[in-house]
Amino acid sequence: MNEVFENELELLRTQAAEGNAEGLEQNNVEVYKWWMLAVLQGDRNAEANMEMISARLTVEERTLAEGLVADWITAFQNRSWK
């Protein structure tokens, strides 16, 4: 990762930990996507979070999120993470 990205990521983590999401728009479709990816990787804690977000989504939004998961898996399944 480059230094600018790492700095921005650290800032977002700090703000999230402090509950300060000012200026950030919550996107439950994206949230659901990332929780689903975590579940698919075997994260047992992620399942409850995914279900909580799922309750906030319409059927169409859930379908969109599942499509995004499929796209992400297709795009990154053969990538080397060295």
Instruction: Report which of residues 18 and 56 the model is more confident about.
Output: 56
The verdict on residue 66 lying in a domain is yes
The verdict on residue 32 lying in a domain is yes
The verdict on residue 29 lying in a domain is yes
Rounded distance, CA 58 to CA 56, Å? 7
Kindly report the pTM of this predicted structure: 0.66
Tell me which residue range forms the domain holding 31. 25-82
Q: How confident is the model at residue 1 (pLDDT cuts 50, 70, 90)?
A: very low
Q: How do residues 10-50 score in pLDDT, each as one tens digit?
A: 776 666 666 566 666 778 898 899 889 889 988 888 898 88
The verdict on residue 48 lying in a domain is yes
How deeply is 36 buried, as exposed, middle or buried, from its count of CB atoms within 10 A (0-12, 13-18, 19+)?
Answer: buried
CA proximity to 57, closest of 81, 79, 82, 26:
26
The verdict on residue 44 lying in a domain is yes
Domains in the chain, number: 1
The verdict on residue 56 lying in a domain is yes
The verdict on residue 1 lying in a domain is no
Asked whether residue 81 carries a pLDDT value surpassing 70, the answer given is: no
The verdict on residue 49 lying in a domain is yes
